[in-house]
Structures are given as C-alpha cells and as structure tokens.
Amino acid sequence: MTTLNYEFFYTWVQSNLNIQLGAYKEKQLQRRIQTIMRQAGAETLEEYSELIGGSLSVKKQFLDYITINVTEFFRNKDLFDNFEHLLTTDLSKKFESISIWSAACSIGAEPYSLAMIVDRHDLPLKRNILATDIDETILAKARTGIFKDQDLKNVSIIDKSTYFKEVDRTFVLDEKIKNKVDFKKHDLILDTYQKHFHVIVCRNVTIYFKNEIKEEIYKRMGQSLVKGGLLFTGATETIYQPEQYGLRKVASFIYEKIE
C-alpha cells in the first residue's frame, strides 16, 4: 500500500482551495480523505489533487465530504427548548434588540430555526440573523429555503403548518422567515469575526477541529459577544474552563459572556 503524502495535499488544498486542513482532527480527516479519494478513482494524493483541480464536480464532492454538513431544524430539541427559554426571558429582558450569528450553519436549518423563534416571540432584531459557513454550495442550498421532510422532524405541527408549504414532497419555507436571515461565506479559522453579537450559535463544527483551533475559536467568539450575550454550542461541545474566554456556563451547552 502506498504511503499517502498528506503534507503535499494539505499545502495544495491551502493554496488552491483556501482551506486549512491542518486545523482538523488528523485521524478522522485522513480517513475521510482516503475514502473520498478512492471513490474518485485516485491512488495517490498527487493524483487526487489533479482530479480536484481538473473537475468542478470532483472538487464539489471533495468539499461536501470533508466539511460534513449534517443538520436539522431544532437539532437536539431539548437543548434548543432550553435555549429558546433563555432567549425569550433573560436575554430579551436585558436588551432592547438583539443581533444573532449562526456560525457553520450548513443548509440553514439552524438559522431558520432561530428565525422561527424570533418570529414566534416577536423578538426585536437589531439586524438580520447572520448565517455563515465555509461551504458556498450549501449556502446556495440554504438560500433556497427548500427542505426535506426528515430535516423537519423536530418542527412542531403548528410551526410546520405556519412556516412551510408542502410542494412535491418538499417543504418550502415562508418568505417572512427567509427574509430574516442573511447567508455569507465565512471560515471560522481564517476569517475575522464580526463583533457586538447578543447571541452566537456555533454547533457541531468545533468537534472536527484540533484543541488549539477550538480554543482560538471560543476565544474569538467570546470577544464577539457583548456582555450578557449567549453562546450556544453542540450537544458534545462542552467548553472547559469557560472563564478563560470571559464566559460562564448558564445551562447545558449554553454560556454567557461575563466581562
């Protein structure tokens, strides 16, 4: 079996696709690269890089597979319910209007869930919800607002009938909700972070990163929140010693900016 030249491949990907693969957990990532490379019919990473460089569909397949965009509306419903409670009680008492960032938003189920909460409780938004991801293809999908039934399994019957129209076995999101969200490409590792958010939702992405990258992301998110703002992480993404980022734990996977 040939030894794969990951060093070459990471450098190639960095300069040609502007993605820093060195930030992702190594074993997991290399397993995925091997699988997708063999699926494309390449034996070596040099060969695979040529295939990626020469074909938009191979490139898209690589990016889709590497970035892992599994998601759904109100993912981990219990946690989302807790978060909704904090948002509509504590947080909205503290601020006249709020700004929200859904980071690594995949196909949009997460920011649109937030937009539904905002609509249901008539929460005043300072500006549209910012929804970002590294992957342009899924952002384009997010903007369509068209979903599959399985994406909606945690959506209540009432929300489903209020906010979606069923068309040919797909679910089309209401324009009122779509219009509350702005999608933008953003890389959590390489790009700068906007500031003055009252809410940052960043779920199920830092699990793929090495510890030092994860720490840097939480540090920067802490700096992007206003005092009293909330950070909501994924169901396996506990932040250890949140104080080092100016945060304190207020509920499971929910942290408040304290200074």
Tokens encoding 247: 């945060």
Residue 167 CB, nearest distance to ligand SAM (Å)? Answer: 24
Residue 196 CB, nearest distance to ligand SAM (Å)? Answer: 20
Residue 209 CB, nearest distance to ligand SAM (Å)? Answer: 8
Distances from the Cα of 178 to the Cαs of 143, 160, 194, in angstroms? 8, 14, 22
Total binding residues toward ligand SAM, as defined by CB under 6 A? 21
Residue 96 CB, nearest distance to ligand SAM (Å)? Answer: 27
3-state secondary structure of 251: strand
Choosing from 104, 221, 225, 254, the residue that interacts with ligand SAM (CB under 6 A) is: 104
* 99 binds ligand SAM, rule: CB under 6 A: no
* 69 binds ligand SAM, rule: CB under 6 A: yes
User: Following DSSP, what letter does each residue of 129-179 receive, concatenated?
Assistant: EEEEES-HHHHHHHHHTEE-GGGGTTS-HHHHHHHEEEETTEEEEPHHHHT
Q: Chain centroid to CA 198: how far?
A: 17
Distances from the Cα of 160 to the Cαs of 73, 183, 184, 249, in angstroms? 11, 22, 26, 32
Tokens encoding 238: 């506990």
Q: How far apart are the first and last CA of the chain?
A: 54
The smaller minimum CB distance to ligand SAM, of residues 97 and 144, is found at 144
User: For ligand SAM, what does the binding mask look like between residues 108 and 127, x meaning CB under 6 A?
Assistant: --x-----------------
Q: What is the CA radius of gyration of the chain?
A: 19
The smaller minimum CB distance to ligand SAM, of residues 150 and 241, is found at 150
* 151 binds ligand SAM, rule: CB under 6 A: no
Choosing from 9, 10, 99, 135, the residue that interacts with ligand SAM (CB under 6 A) is: 135
* Ranges within 183-222 binding ligand SAM (CB under 6 A): 187-189, 203-205
- Exposed/middle/buried for residue 155 (C-beta within 10 Å: 0-12, 13-18, 19+): buried
Choosing from 133, 151, 159, 256, the residue that interacts with ligand SAM (CB under 6 A) is: 133
Binding site for ligand SAM (CB under 6 A): 67-71, 75, 104-106, 110, 133-135, 138, 187-189, 203-205, 234
